[in-house]
Amino acid sequence: IPWPFGDQDCCLLFQLHAVPGSDRSGEITFESTLNNHFPITSDVSRITGTRGRWLMEDQGNNTMRVTYTITTNRSKIPRWVSDPIVRNNMFETMSTFRNILEK
């Protein structure tokens, strides 16, 4: 996050939910969590209230629909600062995920 806003982080717990009878469909959910392996530090603000999912649905004909959803609690950062960062992160994440799937 750009100046004058401080450093932030988020610790996420991911869970895989397979669809019975399908090896090409499933859901990966995630939500913010606390974990002793990743302690909160005094110089970084921990973002909480984040949750989302990746939903992968086999469409047949060797195609797949991927839906990515993420939400978070309101932040102290104005939307005009955070929205472009969130959008860019989302597109970068989807592009990277597509590259992984195509390999």
Per-residue pLDDT tens digits for 80-91: 666 666 677 777
| Percent with pLDDT over 70 in the chain | 82
> pTM of the predicted model, to two decimals?
0.71
Q: Is pLDDT of 1 > 90? A: no
From the list 45, 99, 50, the residue with the least C-alpha distance to 71 is 50
Q: Is pLDDT of 62 > 90? A: no
**φ/ψ bin of 49: left (φ > 0), alpha (ψ from -120 to 50), beta (otherwise):** left
Pairing of strands 12-18, 26-32: antiparallel
From the list 16, 20, 36, the residue with the least C-alpha distance to 28 is 16
Q: For the segment 24-57, what is each residue's pLDDT rounded down to a tens digit? A: 899 999 999 999 999 999 988 888 888 999 999 9
Kindly state the tokens that stand for 71. 């939400």
